[in-house]
Structure 1
Amino acid sequence: MRYINFQKWQFKIIIAIIITVFSVGCKSKTSKEKEVEFVQKTNYISFADDVNFMKNYIDIIQLSDASGKSKIAVAPALQGRVMTSSSSNSEGRSYGWINRELFKSKDTLDHINVFGGEERFWIGPEGGQFSIFFKKGSSFTLDDWYTPKLIDLEPFTIEKSSANSITFFKKASLVNYSGFKFDFDIEREVKVLSTQEAFQELGIAAEDKVNVVAYKTTNSLTNTGEAHWEQETGLLSIWLLGMFNPSPETTIVIPYNSGDEADLGAPVNDEYFGKVPAERLIVKENTMFFQGDGEFRSKIGLSPKRAKQVFGSYDALSHTLTIVKYNKPKGATDYVNSLWELQDKPYSGDVINSYNDGAPKPGEKPLGPFYELETSSPALHLKVGERRTHIQTTIHFEGSAEQLTKISEKVLGVSISEIVNVFSNK
């Protein structure tokens, strides 16, 4: 009995030593190794790292708010594109997706040069008889699809700048598929907002201890030609696209106007690249959820009757809530249609879109990966000398789930918990 009791006593001591050693090891991992694992899992790249990389290839202009904490990087050579941003100084997370491989190649591609960036200026429509991506008489196939150099490789001129804003200008001409020539001026202002202005933009009270970066772009086209822009010969639209870093836990959240399909049409167009699988797109009564993991090529869009003026995404790994707000003119129903075909309804296009990257075919390499949040202006009926403007605000919030829920519930109508759990049963 004494022998057995002595063995139990020894065993307890050994277990206690093991637990102590293991606990010390865990504390060490929490302070160092766990941080490394988190960085690797979330593809963490700092704002400074992205900016320093891009400076090897193009000029980058940095703008910031008065505190210097909220920063964005803008590229004049890429149409005044907002390449990336940070809510936590230069060492904070870089939110925009940057195509480092293309920059490093120093190559120029024929069809499109996908340099990335979290808000780029584009013009629609992409497809149809009034397309500016297909020449007259060409087939609506990838071989004949070319992004106009105007919105792909040509620089915009800086008109004026300050510590928190910059304004660009470009005199432009484009010819559409039907042969109509557009002559116009482009003006694009990019402005960093203060934290207070960001919350005011959303009409909600400010939340303390949340890192914020927000910027607003004001984009205008002026008809400088000799003919009015008419539906019969084709119209243009201002199209803004943001490319963001995906993660396995990123969910795109789109509030929409609910109601009878007979009156409002289908809630979502989910057949751009083939119908989106049900486990990747969940449509509830007032909100739809779309995966932004960069692992399955798919795209969705909302019509003017369904779209609201705000949508966004949440990355549960980096605790980042992204909100995009834009001006949607009341009563506007004509939006250019970008489907790659001769169209019966060329002005029945979508107002907002979201794209999730992935391999085009099994075994092929994805373009990014990234995910996109996009908005469009209505089709622009511009008389000679007339001007129209499309405004978009992008805001990134980093904070705890509890803090971000106060924002997401007011802006998107759902809590962070609802967002995180919506695909939990996939």
Structure 2
Amino acid sequence: MKAHYPVLLTAMMAAEGCSSDHKSDHNQLETAQTQAAGTFGHDLAFLKKYQEAVVLSAPDNAEAQAIVIPAYQGRVMTSTADGNVGNSYGWINYKLIESGQYRPHMNGFGGEERFWLSPEGGQFSVYFKKGQRFDFENWQTPALIDTVAYKAIESDASSVKFQIDAMIENYSGKTFVIAISRKIEMLTKENMADLLGLPAFNGVKAVAYRSINSVTNKGEEWKPETGMLGIWLLGMFRPSDQTTIIAPFSRALSEKPLITDDYFGKIPSDRLVIKDSILFLKADGKHRSKIGIAPKSARNVAGSYDAGKGILTIIQYDLDPQGRYMKSTWELHKDPYDGDALNAYNDGKLADGTQMGPFYELESNSSVKALKEGEAITHRQSTFHFEGDKAALNAIAQKVLGVNIDQIGEIFK
């Protein structure tokens, strides 16, 4: 009998191990489902209840994660630098997702980077039908960038790629036959340092991902007189009374900064400050306001800082200072190719007192080209989040955005 004891003991230990593993898995799931609101674990459990969720992790850091939803056009819903217990950076429209219902005009599911097409308004708009007035009743986000799911064609632990073929018509009656490709890939700390021109950084937790977006012309040649399409990436983030958007601009090609700040009326001076080639916009989600920076004045970076939580967010995107960009204001345009390269938006109540958010947005646009059949435009954007030691955050902010962390926190006091 003694000869059988080791075998029996091993079997018992294996069984106990399996039971322990099962309990561990169950506990981890239970923990994720009961994480506090505002954490990545909470948002992951919520999203998994309603949609397929692709969770990506950085190759060099399992705690740096992002959630991508194929049903929402491959958008990045949120990310974190610290696993399930960490802050969740993207704004999510819980009520809309929970309802399971589509809304008229647009489905604002949220997400910290989504794929859209430009232009929104004007004679080449893809949001208004030919001959319609440019008003809210007629405005309709195309299903292609609102409710259509994108198919994942490649994926691994740190990246996923989507592709879809489509047709879309603009206000002038031009039909575009296109193929859309979108890839999201997590970045290592070395990637982050290289892209932002930083030395190896310590004292902060960080997460970053890059999206590579292409639109290929599969039909007739695009012509300026009948319209073109641009790639438009929009990120929705959580606002706070201590959050400020930072948009540095350049004077190299235009001494006077080419900034639009009256999309929804003039922004009050206690909410918008322009100082030393940097634009500061309050991002508290309490006053509807939007700015745009033309390509000749824009820089290829922008960001935000939440002084309360100590979270620094940066976007870096492809920029062509001499390029043509689609204009999206709701009117016929004298020059439809005189649009913005960068936009930022702070949510607030509408005239009827309703509000989708609160949230704030950082947005980048691609330049456009008269594509021949088989040619493509590509637009890349990288999104970075840093939190931790204030001195380390300050070094990143100064290097990338040209601003001191304390200055950001004090600008609207």
Q: Normalization by structure 2: what TM-score?
A: 0.89
Equivalence for 1:16: none
Equivalence for 1:74: 68
Aligned-residue offset at 1:267: 3.7
In 1, Cα distance between equivalents of 2:247 and 2:398: 12
Equivalence for 1:339: 329
Q: Which amino acid aligns with 2:314?
A: I
Equivalence for 1:311: 302
Counterpart secondary structure, 1:101:
helix
In 2, Cα distance between equivalents of 1:407 and 1:44: 28
After superposition, what is the alpha-carbon deviation per residue over 1:183-230, rounded to whole angstroms, capped at 9, x for unaligned?
Answer: 0100000000012211211011122120000000000011001x1111
CA contact (8 A) 1:82 1:120 kept: yes
In 2, Cα distance between equivalents of 1:258 and 1:44: 43
**Unaligned residue ranges in structure 1 (runs of 5+):** 1-42
Give the counterpart of 2:373 among 384, 388, 391: 384
Equivalence for 1:300: 291
What aligned pairs does 1:119-158 form with structure 2 within 5 A after superposition?
Answer: 119-158=113-152
Give the counterpart of 1:268 among 256, 259, 272: 259
Counterpart secondary structure, 1:423:
coil
In 2, Cα distance between equivalents of 1:267 and 1:401: 32
Name the CA shift for 1:57/1:206 in 2 (closer, same or farther; >3 Å).
Answer: same
User: Is residue 64 of structure 1 aligned with residue 39 of structure 2?
Assistant: no
Equivalence for 1:348: 338
In 1, Cα distance between equivalents of 2:102 and 2:392: 44
Q: Percent identity?
A: 45
Counterpart secondary structure, 2:265:
coil
User: Is residue 252 of structure 1 aligned with residue 242 of structure 2?
Assistant: no
In 2, Cα distance between equivalents of 1:295 and 1:176: 34
Counterpart secondary structure, 2:121:
coil
User: Is residue 370 of structure 1 aligned with residue 359 of structure 2?
Assistant: yes
Equivalence for 1:404: 393
Aligned-residue offset at 1:86: 0.3
Aligned-residue offset at 1:304: 0.7
Q: Which amino acid aligns with 1:395?
A: F
Q: Which amino acid aligns with 1:154?
A: V
CA contact (8 A) 2:368 2:377 kept: no
Aligned-residue offset at 1:399: 1.1
Aligned-residue offset at 1:421: 0.9
In 2, Cα distance between equivalents of 1:65 and 1:284: 36
In 2, Cα distance between equivalents of 1:203 and 1:165: 23
After superposition, what is the alpha-carbon deviation per residue over 1:46-97, rounded to whole angstroms, capped at 9, x for unaligned?
Answer: 1110011011111100000132110000000011000000000121100000
In 2, Cα distance between equivalents of 1:92 and 1:266: 38
Equivalence for 1:213: 207
In 2, Cα distance between equivalents of 1:134 and 1:208: 49
In 1, Cα distance between equivalents of 2:271 and 2:193: 31
Aligned-residue offset at 1:367: 1.2
In 1, Cα distance between equivalents of 2:320 and 2:237: 26
CA contact (8 A) 1:71 1:90 kept: no
**Unaligned residue ranges in structure 2 (runs of 5+):** 1-35
* Higher Cα Rg, which structure: 1
After superposition, what is the alpha-carbon deviation per residue over 1:25-57, rounded to whole angstroms, capped at 9, x for unaligned?
Answer: xxxxxxxxxxxxxxxxxx961111001101111
After superposition, what is the alpha-carbon deviation per residue over 1:81-136, rounded to whole angstroms, capped at 9, x for unaligned?
Answer: 00000000121100000000101111111210000000000000000000000000
After superposition, what is the alpha-carbon deviation per residue over 1:358-380, rounded to whole angstroms, capped at 9, x for unaligned?
Answer: 1012x612210000000000123
Name the CA shift for 1:265/1:140 in 2 (closer, same or farther; >3 Å).
Answer: farther
Q: Which amino acid aligns with 2:384?
A: I
Aligned-residue offset at 1:268: 1.5
After superposition, what is the alpha-carbon deviation per residue over 1:236-291, rounded to whole angstroms, capped at 9, x for unaligned?
Answer: 1000000000010000001101369xx45544100111111111110112111001
Aligned-residue offset at 1:357: 0.2
Q: Which amino acid aligns with 2:126?
A: I
Equivalence for 1:393: 382
Equivalence for 1:47: 40
User: Is residue 85 of structure 1 aligned with residue 74 of structure 2?
Assistant: no
CA contact (8 A) 2:165 2:179 kept: yes
Q: Which amino acid aligns with 1:352?
A: L
Count of residues in Structure 1 that have an aligned counterpart in Structure 2: 377
Name the CA shift for 1:281/1:44 in 2 (closer, same or farther; >3 Å).
Answer: farther
CA contact (8 A) 1:258 1:285 kept: no
CA contact (8 A) 2:37 2:43 kept: no
